[in-house]
Structure formats: structure tokens, C-alpha cells
Structure 1
Amino acid sequence: MSDLRDDVRTLFTQITGRAPDGLWSAPGRVNLIGEHTDYNDGFVLPFAIDRRTIVAAGAREDAVLRVASTFSDDAVEIPLGDLEGARGRAGWADYPLGVAWALGRSGADLAAVPGVDLVIDSNVPVGAGLSSSAAIECAVALALDDLWRLGLARPALARAGQLAENEFVGAPTGIMDQSASLLGQADAAVFLDCRTLDAEIVPLGFAAAGLTLLVMDTGVSHSHATGGYGERRASCEAGAAALGVPALRDLTVDDLARARDLLDDVTFRRVRHVVTENQRVLDVVRTLRTEGAAGIGELLDASHVSMRDDFEISVPELDLAVETAREHGALGARMTGGGFGGAAIALAPLDAVSRIQVAVDGAFAEHGFAAPEVYPVRPSAGAARDA
């Protein structure tokens, strides 16, 4: 983190000729369980991780928003008054630009606030399902909230990040990622009700149980703004409408027999995943409280099977990572994130970590897949001002 801070501060000074007003950071996240439940008004259980995005920011004397980063040679400059017409046109810079736009849509008077220089760096892997986009959104939201003296609560900043991703970037995601990044605490997960936005911190106790969580990044890229993610969301909305409920959150496992009679096979399986995944989130929270982290492995496994077979969002690389981790000592494993690539996670005893890493590397090589990255992550604190 010290290197990130130094790099982003140095680049800010090179670009602007002055020191930043401050540094703000926000973490990526791992979703322990609760996939594709968030936009169905359901339950999720993510936690912030020890990979972060850093933003150096400083107010300008004009009304221009300038965005630069250590990972792109091009800076993007746009007047705050022109953000509406810029939606979806700036590549990766759509994420920070979208946050400023969303804050305007949420009540900030963009005609009355100063322009801002933003310089961004990050060590959250891109495309791994660890929500690198939400880390950018939340760090920028926190910086703009401070510099513009908006005084918004963190749930409101999370909603602004989601609005940016949905309507500025064009990715139909829920609010889980931003909530985890803003509300996370060390050694704990965020139990979030995505309908009410009520959030509860649930201790994980991984270290005390002699466990760690491994991320197995397949390197298979994915995009939430296109393709299967949007199709799955549309299927869920169609299923809820056919069953006469506002959202799939309003169904229980007992409703699945009726759903099978009313829906075509594909829509039914999409609905069954969401309904059973919601129940698994509740079961994991209960198990963490009563038995501890060592008791949740079977629920993680069941989640992966549901995503593979009912929601059909896994890929061969994810399935191989999950199967190999289980065969070599993981208590449970599942793909995480929106699917169609990205990463899987494995809950593993500390003494099995090296064995799992070697086995996953070997299995990928044997199947002719590109080498994965396998590394532990720690449940960590959420977004904050760093300097």
C-alpha cells in the first residue's frame, strides 16, 4: 500500500504541479456467498479484502473534472456540466466520471462545486470478480464527498456507486459490491439485505479457526456490461413477474414446486438458483454464529453447483479450480462474482494452502489452460481517507 500511495501522489504532482488535497482508498471484495441475489432484493455476504484502489484528489479553480491513472497514458477531462452527455464514452474513466454524475443525480449541485483532479492507482485485480470497478467508485465517491462537503452517509455513497455503474457505465449490477467496499471491517463480513439496505457485521474468525480464504483467479476475462449477466437478470425479472411477486426475494424454497409448474425449464432453473442461494446465505450466517467458519464448507460447495447447473454462469476453468481445491484439502469452494470468468474461492486450512496452490497450477497446466493466480486474501477494513 505504501508503494501505491507514493506512486499516485507522485503522478498527481507530475500532472497538476501541486500536491493532492488528500488520499482516499477503497477495497475490492470477495463475496463469500450470495451470487446474483443482490439485484433480486435478496441477501449477500461479502467482505472487503486487502487489495485496494487509491485516489489522490485535489480541488481545481474551474469546473472541470480530470481523471488520470497509473495504468493508462491518457487523462480524461470534462466539464462537470457536460457529464450527462458523456455517459459510456470514456472506457475505464466512465467509473470515476459516473460517480460524479451520480452524485449530481443524487442531489449534489454540480454547478456549485469545484472541479477536481483525480489520479487513481490500484492493486485490485481487474476481471477477477473481485470488484475492481466498485473499489474505484467507492474511493472516488468518498473523495468527492469530502472535497465537495456533501456529508453523505455511506449507504448513500454506495447507492451513488451503483447508479454510476448501472446508468453511466451500463452494467446492470446490484449494490453488494459498493456496500462491501464502504462498510467492510477487519475479520468480518457484511450481511446485507439488498431490499432494505440494512447491513450487519458478521465476524468470520478465519484466523482463529486456522483457516484462510484463497482466491483462484482463472484469468478468464468477463464483462458485466455485456452478454450473459444481463440475460440472467432479465430471466429473474421474468420469473418474478410470472410468479406474481415483486422480486425473487419474496419466494422461499417451498414455492419452487409452484414455480416448476408455471415456468419454462430455463427460467425455473434461474429462479431456483436465486431462491436456494438466498437460503444458503441465511444458513451460512447462522452457521458462522453457531459453529464457526469450519462449518460452512458444504454450503459453499452447494452454491457452486447451483451456479454451474441452474444459473449456468461457470466456465471450465472455474469448475476445475473448485474441484481441484476440494480434492486437495479445501473445506469448500465456489466461483465468486458475476460469472463467465473471473475467480473462484476456497476456504482452506492453513496447512493445505501450498498443496492447493501447487495442485491448481498443475491441473490448469494439464488441461492446457493459462496459469492461474492463487493467493490468500484477508477480510479487511472498508473505504477510508488515508492522508
Structure 2
Amino acid sequence: MTEPPEPRRRGRPPEPRAPKEPRYPPLPWAAERAQLRARARHSPPIALLLGSPEQAAVPGGSDLVPRTVDQLRLELTADQVKATRADRDHRERFDYEVHAANSARGLASDWLNWLAFCLHFDRVVLPSAFDDVADFIDILIAAGRRKATLQHHLWSITHMNWRCHCPDPMDGKNAQLWWRDRVRRKLSGEQKQAKPFGFGAVEQATAWLRDPERPRPGRRAKAKDREVVDAAQRRRDLRDAALINTAYDLMMRSAELVSAEWDRITVEPNGSGTYRFGKTKTDQEGIGLIRYLRPETVQDLAAWRAVAGPSPFVFHAVREHDADHEPRPVPDAITDAADRERVRWPPLTTQEVGVIFRRAARLAGVSVAHLSGHSTRVGGAQDMVEAGATDAEVQQAGRWKDPRMPAKYAAHPEARRAGERRFRKLQRLRPAEDPDR
């Protein structure tokens, strides 16, 4: 009996790619981390330990309660367990979370690293000892982790010990001196900065996207589907032009951009507009701020809205045959109104923002490399500095709480302007040329 032929693969065959080099060397506990992450979906004790370590600690009646959950060592006293359980019950009773969603995800990732380290080297998870924390950080340093990453891990470990009413392993003169030494001798505070997507590049990219006569790169499609594919691409270009201009005008974070809603936009009689922010990273209470939109941006938003469909979110995926105009089914298990809306009308992801920036720049011939979802934010800050805005004005426009971030973004134009002023003044020291020579 002959075997059936393999199904023919549709589309262009994938191009062979060299394996991508890992950014960092693997950590010694990589296998344990993968094991814990996989088993968290099936083992309730592990899942609880990853999310709330106090829930996995069950007292046995003695003063010191050693407990191993899948070989993870917890040595919480009965009083510590009682106090952490009381905190948990209080949160459940009054229905509140300790952290915002993004902070909780970062904390969980750091905590998973700590659990894997303790499992690999057979160390006590809680209470965390300074000797174990120092070994953990030294291994991360040897693996090339940066200062900001290490600081976040230290905060996560300290925070989890605080939640379980354990002493802070980094509290004390010796711990502070140890960390200061590591920063001085082995770490650098320098961080990579997103490349700017400034005003000139934004105008060039959006002008290209608006023009339907520009030649687009062809997409493989059957003859009967060509019209549908081209129509979807035209809608996608309108969306991208509106997205890039909106991101630049409002100096939005990528998470704020993909969460933008139509009912927050107001069009003024003169053709300009405003956008009303809700809850953001620096406004967790949702007091709200109103920011300006240029007339060009309002026009791009209007052109996109005419074909965008009924989604309440401004920016979403564009699918052929207008498939993005149809709501998706929402599972009954999702009860929160905002979560149900996101499932019914899924917006873009933050990763797709950088992809859109890079695609538009490449098609329009803009020579900007390595754009990310925050590149318009960086470009907006630098353009304001070039135009003579003060650091306070840049901070207010970008909605930063800390003046260090706008100062960091503006470092390059500030350095250039300071250097030009300096050498203009130095020109005065040159002797005047003799007119008779």
C-alpha cells in the first residue's frame, strides 16, 4: 500500500536562517526554571508558590516549619505563616491587588529565577539568606546581566520576603557595602536607548503611507484574491500612518498606544484634536490628562476610522475580507468588562508597534535603524530639546514622573548644543587676521 503524498506547502518556501545567537549565556538553573514553569500549569502548590509564596506554606504546628514543595525549601515560622495568611485573606476579602499587571509579571519572572536557583543549589527560598542572595547575584553578573536587571531581582526578593514577614536579606551595613562594591567594580549603569523616530522621519514615513500611488511590495496571492489583498494592504497603510502620527504627537508608550480608544479623541473646530488619557504607567489612579493632536494626525485618524470597523480600540490588526470587523466569541469564564472587550475586539500588541515603525521606515526609505515601540517617544523628546524646550517642558509632555528619563533621552542633542556653544565662544580667542597680509 502506497503512502499518501505529503500535502503541498502553500506560499513561498521559507528561507534558511542561521540560528540566532543568544543574548546571554544560559544560566546554571535554566533546566530547573523550565521545569518549574511547565509544572506550574499542573501542580497547584507550585503555581501558588510562583504567584504567592505564602499560600504554599502550611504550618505543621511547630515553631519552625520546614516544608518542601516539590523540593523547594521553605522554613517559615508558624507566626510568619499566620501573618502572611492574614494578609492574603485581607486582599481576598476586599478584592485588591498589590501590584499593577506589568509589575506583577516582572515580579513573577524574577521570582521564578530565584526559585530555580534555590532548587538547583538546594538553598532555602524563604526566609532568604544574604549569603544565598549574594551567590545568586554574582552568578547573574557572571552571565552578563545588567545593573537594572540585578536591581529588579533584588527588589523582587526583598519584596517577597516582606510579604511573608521575613527579614530583608539586603538590610544591613555589610549588605549595602557588598552591593556598592559590585556596582563599582563589576557593573555599569549605562543602558541602551531606543533609536529616535523624529519629526522629519515621521513626516516622510506617513507621507509615503498616505499616497496610494506609491509602489507597494507585492504579496503572493491568487488572481481572484488580488483585489482583496490589495484592499487590506491599503487599510493597513492608513492604520499605520495614523498610528505613527498619534504615537509621535502624544509621545505615547507602546502599551498606551495599543490601548487607545476612539471615544477618548475629540476633534476641535479648527481641525486639530485632543486625546484624553486614562490610567497609565505614571497615573495609576486614572486622574487623566489631555494632550494635543495635530490637524494632520486628526486627518489620518479620520481616514483610518472610515475603514477601521466597529472596534472601540483605535489600533487593531487588519485582516483580509474585513475579518477584523467581526467580534470574537468571549468565554463565559471572563467576567471583567474590560477583559471581555479586549477578547471581543483584540487590539494590537506592544511588539507589533515596533514592527510597524520599522516597516514604514523601510518602505519610505527613512535611514533609521533599530526602531522600537518607544522610538517616537524618544524622537519627540529630542525634537523638543532641539526646538529649545526646557527639561521641565519635555518631562511634562512625556508624562514622566522622574526628570532623569527625559534628561537621558535629551542627552545627545544637549551634548551637541553645549559643544557648539562652547566652540563658538572659543572662536573669540583666535587672533584677528591682519588686513594688510
Q: Shorter-chain TM-score: what band?
A: under 0.3
By relative contact order (CA 8 Å, sep 6+), the higher-ranking structure is 1
TM-score, normalised with respect to structure 2: 0.21
In our comparison, the structure showing a higher alpha carbon Rg is 2
TM-score (norm 1): 0.23
Q: Which has the higher helix share?
A: 2
